[in-house]
Chains A and B, each alone.
Chain A
Amino acid sequence: MSAAALRRLTLRVLELAGVLFIVSVGVFSLVVLLPGDPAVDILGAGRPPSEYAELRHDMGLDQPLHTRYFDWLGGVLTGDLGRSVVPPQSEVSDRVVSALPVSAEIAVLGLLIALLIAVPLAMWSAYREGGIADRIIGAGTFAVLSVPSFLAGLLLVMVMVNSLGWFPRSEWVRIGDGDLLGNLHHAFLPALTVALVELAMFARVLRGDLIVTLREDFILAARAKGMSPLRILFSDALRPSSFSLVTLLGLSLGRLIGSTVIVEYLFSLPGMGSLVVNAANQGDYPMVQGAVLTIAVIYVVINAGIDFSYGYLDPRTRRVHV
């Protein structure tokens, strides 16, 4: 790695650290915005004032804000996200650790389904640009983009569970229980719901790029050599056309997390979404803080990873000094 590249990497990491710092301050200051007194919330009203004062002291609420922030941050960095204020007052980190794999599975599965459907659709559309398939796919994906994921989920349940009876609606089988098929059977419908909007977006973007690529000379050359359309599409056109798609993967991650949250709530899956929504409904701020911070860190790190992957996809960006 050259010195310039190293310098760029360092700058990028520093910027990342800065963003994470600001986010942590933002997440922490949720407490400041909180109406009411946590001590009163926990003990209930009508106790002698000394008890509230004692609890506040135990929770560190009588310390100045910056001290509390650094205490909290110290805990976060050592993996201690505090305790829930709602009975049974469990450790936030434990709950996050048990919820994270469920959400990750739904999101990854959703992304896979989206790509598996979107890539062939985009190829078909682009190869027969302006044809009837292209127009139907175009109209269909545009319509799907206007369906919020909770509505899509309810409609899918309506058709696939209630009318056809193909899938179970809720109950979750963990991967760890060894029943992988059962797990996939339960995860498929939520993942498909998550995938719908993404696949529409992917198909539209990839189609646009593919159309441009298919006009290039090297595609003409490949065609002149007598290569089959499928071979041309998959081995020649796909990689140079996937640049916007990868950028979009990073951008869509936020939406993906959002729809995962909603879908988990809808299908009552024990993931991060259910965790954060239930905590928010109960005003359980340590849980919300822990979950939001975890999600934000994962989101920022993945996005940074995607930034670095451009170098692989398009060698030209390796040399350009930004």
Chain B
Amino acid sequence: MSEIAPRTRTALAPPVVVATALAVAGLVLLVFGATTPVLIAPAKAAIALLGIGLFLNGASRVGKALAGPGFDVLFWASAAWLVLLALAIVFVDWLPLGEDRDVAATVTEPVFGIPTFTGTHPLGTNGSGLDLLARSLYGARSSLLISLTAVVVGTIVGGLIGIVAGYFRKAVDRVVGMATNSLLAVPPLILLIALATVLEPRLRNVALSLSLLTIPGMVRLSRATTVAYANREFVTAARAMGAKRSRIMARELLPNVLLPIMSLAVVMISVLIVAEASLSFLGLGIQPPEPTWGNMIAEGEGDVFEAHPHIVLVPGAFLFLTVFAFNIVGEKARQRWDSRSVKL
């Protein structure tokens, strides 16, 4: 036994060392690309991208060597980002951050400070001297709060309607189908804009409008899954044993519909984050000074971002990373739980 252990370690050692070196080199390149003052922006971006590529490649090799060939580096990186963001959101009130919305408190702060990744304003400041890291985190809080509320409401309402429609069929199904088709007949962003015309831009209203976007997809998926299961043996058996319709729907059908619609829900979160950011960007969502990623990016509009690209890039990076992470996690969930036999 004692002879085998060292042998495997030596067999394992070189790739892990090389891969770790690769990952570290990638990180160094990324930091260099992001902070170097010498080069022009496209060159810096290219270096940073190369760094990210190298890092992911290296980390993937390390992970595969340590955890087996099934290791998916993008999935774990995404999950890590989401956990980190969630922790930051929960504890944002206690973190030692700069001022995020009170312009009066920042008269002595530097304006348009560029990101230094250290010091009091690690991600720089905006035109009023407000701290961009603090604003991005508070923005993350409202953005995620809105999207999650909307997804939960949409999933529950849409899922239940879909089960009822798929189980009863006939007239109920036709009415529900008509209603979902009508909801789908207005392009999503147009629907949001129309609602924003008449609703006050508050957190609750934005979340409710967004939940309307998730309902049609949820109804269709949950209905289709229900139809596929409604004629299976265990449902027939339950009916033969005298189960009531409500019991069949709640105990036999719901558990089977749950996983597919939950995985659709994860995918929907990223769609809703983008929709919420678009709405804020257009000035129709949550209003400043309350920060959201969308209205932070809108601050760079006009000529501001020519001189100060970080005004757009900092919230843009938060937005991109979060949407990307939810897409990766959602894709994984869908591959795992959404049975391909069920067509939308």
Enumerate chain A interface residues (CB-CB to B < 8 A).
Answer: 15, 18-20, 22-23, 26-27, 30, 33-35, 142-143, 145-151, 154-155, 158-159, 162-163, 253-255, 257-258, 261-262, 265-266, 276-277, 279-281, 283-285, 288-289, 292, 295-296, 299-300
Contact = CB atoms under 8 A, between A and B. Distances in A.
A12 to B, nearest CB: 12
B268 interface: no
14 contacts: A15-B181, A22-B179, A26-B186, A146-B324, A146-B327, A150-B277, A159-B41, A162-B306, A255-B187, A262-B278, A276-B193, A280-B196, A280-B282, A281-B283
A22 B182 contact: yes
B40 interface: yes
Given A146-B270, A151-B316, A154-B316, A261 B190 contact: yes
Contact of A158 (B189, B190, B283, B309): B309
B186 A295 contact: yes
A250 B23 CA distance: 42
A17 B282 CA distance: 32
Contact of A154 (B42, B196, B270, B312): B312
Given A148-B323, A280-B197, A23 B42 contact: no
A150 B292 CA distance: 14
Contact of A27 (B181, B194, B200, B300): B194
B197 A285 contact: yes
A265 B282 contact: yes
Given A19-B181, A33-B199, A258 B190 contact: yes
Nearest to B179: A22
Nearest to A287: B197
B290 to A, nearest CB: 17
Nearest to A293: B186
B297 interface: yes
B230 interface: no
A154 B300 contact: yes
B282 A148 contact: no
A183 B327 CA distance: 36
A24 B146 CA distance: 28
Interface of B: 40-42, 178-179, 181-182, 184-191, 193-194, 196-200, 270, 274, 277-278, 281-284, 294, 297, 300-301, 305-306, 309, 312, 316, 319-320, 323-324, 327-328
B98 to A, nearest CB: 24
A181 B177 CA distance: 46
A263 B278 CA distance: 11
Given A27-B194, A146-B324, A258 B189 contact: yes
Among A19, A30, A159, the one with the most B-chain Cβ atoms within 10 Å of its Cβ is A19
Contacts of A262: 189, 278, 281-282
Contacts of A151: 297, 312, 316, 319-320
Among A159, A253, A254, the one with the most B-chain Cβ atoms within 10 Å of its Cβ is A254
B187 A299 contact: yes
A148 to B, nearest CB: 5
Contacts of B278: 148-150, 258, 262
A163 B194 contact: no
A197 B9 CA distance: 46
Contacts of B316: 151, 154-155
Contact of A33 (B41, B190, B198, B284): B198
A255 B193 contact: no
Contacts of A265: 282
A18 B181 CA distance: 10
B325 to A, nearest CB: 8
A279 B197 contact: yes
Contact of A148 (B178, B185, B319): B319
A35 B117 CA distance: 46
B198 A154 contact: no
Given A35-B198, A158-B41, A150 B189 contact: no
